[in-house]
Amino acid sequence: MVLLFAPIIFGIVAYLAWRNREVRGCRWRADSTRDKGTLRMYRCAACGAEAFTASKGPPQTCKKGLGGAPL
């Protein structure tokens, strides 16, 4: 009977891990070739979101939800 639920449990764990990765796994990479003046261009290697920052360092949050582009 355990084998019956194994795929379901695995699916839930995989889904949670995927969500976790999406939220916490944002890896911003600076792209100096696309800087606009004082704004620094950053691209998230995890979800592909792009953002500009005027402050030092990468964006604090993922901008994936703002783009409106579905996966």
Amino acid at the residue 36: K
| 49 part of the interface to Zn ion, by CB under 5 A | yes
Q: Which is nearer to Zn ion, 12 or 61 (CB)?
A: 61
Amino acid at the residue 17: A
Q: What b/e sequence results for 38-65 when a residue is b if at least 16 CB atoms lie within 10 Å of its CB, and e otherwise?
A: eebbbbbebbebbbebeeeebbeebbbe
CA-based nearest residue to 28, from 57, 8, 6: 57
Give the range of 2-10, 12-20, 31-39, 58-66 binding Zn ion by CB under 5 A: 58-66
| 59 part of the interface to Zn ion, by CB under 5 A | no
Per-residue contact track with Zn ion, 1 to 30, x per CB under 5 A? -------------------------x----
Minimum Å distance from CB 11 to Zn ion?
23
